């Protein structure tokens, strides 16, 4: 069984775990604290980042998008459409959701690792503007939630779950459609709820 080095709060880990569950691929989940720099992590990803997928063939894959592409291949396209235009749409949504998470993590790390007196507020403001622009764009045209979803929708659910976890009360205003979208997603795909960031 493939192994996944992950953290429960990581939106990228959540996306991979949700994608695997949706595609029917069983994974052995190994909780991993990147701050401890465990040997298993560094041996399989010199960047020391999660998630990392360890395949049954002894390969290691890292970067969540590389992993979702791999999961799509071994599941015979359970996560991305074969149609080129629809596939591009799914990949674009995944990239947008991951990009939002990149900005959010910049926020978290700036406050977690810098002394308060040297936290660079203009940098945080710039990152939050990117988040707001992206959320406003999604609010204007929320992705559909058909019976068969893609990693694009899964990535967005993981992203919004990370917002709920780390930024409660700071993103919801003006994003009522996205909040409804989260509720509908969870109602339609309750089996994925255990993997959202927590």
Of the pLDDT bands very low, low, confident and very high (cuts 50, 70, 90), residue 20 is very high
- CATH 3.40.30.10 for domain 3-74: yes
pLDDT at residue 141, rounded to an integer: 96
Q: What's the confidence (pLDDT) of residue 59?
A: 96
The separation between the first and the last C-alpha atoms of the chain, rounded to the nearest angstrom, is 24
Confidence of residue 112 (pLDDT cuts 50, 70, 90): confident
Sequence length of the chain is 198
Residue-wise pLDDT for 56-89, tens only, equals 999 999 999 999 999 999 999 999 999 999 999 9
pLDDT of residue 111: 85
Contact 22, 185 (CB under 8 A): no
The structure tokens listed for 126 are 């710039």
**CB burial readout 130-165, b (16+ within 10 A) else e:** ebeebbeebeeebbeeeeebbbbbbbbbbbbbbbbb
- Using 50, 70 and 90 to split pLDDT, how confident is the model at 40? very high
Which residues in the chain are classed under CATH 1.20.1050.10? 84-195
The model's pLDDT over 118-168, given as tens digits with 9 standing for 90+, comes to: 888 999 999 999 999 999 999 999 999 999 999 999 999 999 999 999 999
pTM given for the model: 0.96
- C-alpha to C-alpha distance for 115 and 95, rounded to whole angstroms: 31
Give strand pairing partners of 6.
31
* CATH hierarchy code of domain 84-195: 1.20.1050.10
Query: Max alpha carbon distance in the chain (Å)?
Result: 51
pLDDT for residue 86: 96
Task: Kindly report the three-state secondary structure assignment for every residue of 97-155.
Answer: HHHHHHHHHHHHHHHHHCCHHHCCHHHHHHHHHHHHHHHHHHHHCCCCCCCCCCHHHHH
CATH 3.40.30.10 placement within the chain: 3-74
To the nearest whole number, what is the mean pLDDT of the chain? 96
CA dist., res. 33 & res. 6, Å (int): 8
pLDDT digits (tens, 9 = 90+) for 22-31: 999 999 999 9
Dump strand ranges (E) for 1-97.
3-6, 28-31, 52-54, 60-62
């Amino acid at each position: 069984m493939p192994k996944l080095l992950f953290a429960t709060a990581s939106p990228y880990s959540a996306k991979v775990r949700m994608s695997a569950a949706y595609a029917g691929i069983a994974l052995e989940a190994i909780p991993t604290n990147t701050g401890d720099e465990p040997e298993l992590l560094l041996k399989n990803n010199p960047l020391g980042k999660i998630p990392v997928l360890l395949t049954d063939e002894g390969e290691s894959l890292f970067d969540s998008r590389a992993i979702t592409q791999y999961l799509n291949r071994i599941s015979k396209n359970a996560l991305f459409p074969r149609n080129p235009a629809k596939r591009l749409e799914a990949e674009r949504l995944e990239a947008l959701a991951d990009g939002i998470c990149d900005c959010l993590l910049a926020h978290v790390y700036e406050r977690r690792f810098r002394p308060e007196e040297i936290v660079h507020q203009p940098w945080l403001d710039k990152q939050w503007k990117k988040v707001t622009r992206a959320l406003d764009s999604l609010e204007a045209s929320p992705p559909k939630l058909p019976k068969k979803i893609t990693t694009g929708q899964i990535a967005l659910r993981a992203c919004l779950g990370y917002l709920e976890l780390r930024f409660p009360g700071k993103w919801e205003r003006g994003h009522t459609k996205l909040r409804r979208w989260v509720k509908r997603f969870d109602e339609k795909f309750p089996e994925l709820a255990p993997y959202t960031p927590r």
